[in-house]
Amino acid sequence: MPMRLASAFALLLLCALASDAMAGLVQVGEPVTLSNSQRAAIERVACANSPGKTAIGIQGYSAVVHGHRKLAALVQCDDGIELDAYHAYFDRYCTKKGRRWSCEEPPEIRLYMKVAGDPHEIKLDSVPLDDALRGLNCLEEVLTQNPQVLGGGKAAHRIWLSEIESQPDLLVAYLEARNECYWIEYPRQCSANAGKPLPVAIKTGCIDE
């Protein structure tokens, strides 16, 4: 599946820098062009543990962190999983420290699969793949039980699925539908076939508001 570098990497970088940005410490700049030597150096660090040890996508960005200019990159190695039910890709956030590149954060998972019958790109934030797959099955049940969210329409084809640090037994899905943004909280250990409504909290409000 082709990777939509410009939009996907921009969103992922904003997410990767979110904690510092919330504190007003980070300003994300425009994408930057990396030299062949820079891309090779990033690939060696980011993809050392991937099967072919190669990158299929690298996008550089500039950022200001604590008042200092910082060169960053988001990398996709060749270790994706492509099955009939879903495609999973692993994105690394790397930064340049002095003359060396470092990819200290664990890979973040991005899924492509059908939710409520439609194909979606799902960005996972600190959610393991198995939990995410179970949680997305439950999300379909949540949307069925709460038809007011979609209102007979369809969700935009991107969903963010995260855990809640203060409540690790919950997942939260962020999606847009009918010009509204929804935050849907529901149990991590859920079952789509429980036979009774799932306990759900639904809030509205868009990320950029």
Q: Looking up tokens 């340049």, which residue turns up? A: 96
Poorest-confidence range of 74-78, 142-146, 153-157, 162-166? 153-157
CA–CA gap between residue 100 and residue 158 (Å, rounded): 34
- 15 pLDDT exceeds 70? no
Please give the model's pTM, rounded to 2 decimal places.
0.69
DSSP H or E run through 71: strand 68-77
The mean per-residue pLDDT over the stretch 80-89 comes to 91
* H or E, element range at 161: strand 158-164
CA atoms of 69 and 65, how far apart (whole Å) = 6
Cβ atoms of residues 94 and 12 within 8 Å: no
As a whole number, mean pLDDT of residues 164-190 equals 87
